[in-house]
Amino acid sequence: AGAIAASGMAELAKAGPEEEGAKYLEAAVNILKALTENFCYFEPENDRLLGHGSVRYPVDGDLKKNGVHISLIYGDYFYTEAILKLMGEKYLPW
């Protein structure tokens, strides 16, 4: 959800008044920094960027079996998209 929010905020930063846009931009950067520092895997042996994703959060039971603390392709996608937006890239992967 954080990567999706960061991508959306990067988009909103361009849409409104400059002062308001600066707040969205700062929020997007802060979210991406937190994701990068706490949840990214850059080692060559990993096939993911972000870890600790969640499809849903079960009340009880095995967390990994229930889709918690896993990598999600759409998490990697929106993380990459947000970074490209902040870099001012015209190309977006979708």
- 32 falls within a domain: yes
pLDDT of residue 67: 54
pTM of the model: 0.73
pLDDT of residue 27: 95
**Mean per-residue pLDDT pooled into runs of 10, the chain (94 residues):** 88 88 94 86 74 62 57 77 88 64
First to last CA, the chain: 18
- 92 falls within a domain: no
- 91 falls within a domain: no
pLDDT of residue 64: 54
Structure tokens at 69: 């603390």
pLDDT of residue 14: 87
Domain span holding position 66: 2-86
Please give the tally of structural domains in the chain: 1
- 94 falls within a domain: no
pLDDT of residue 93: 64
pLDDT of residue 66: 56
User: Assign residue 88 a region: left if phi > 0, alpha if psi is -120 to 50, beta otherwise?
Assistant: left
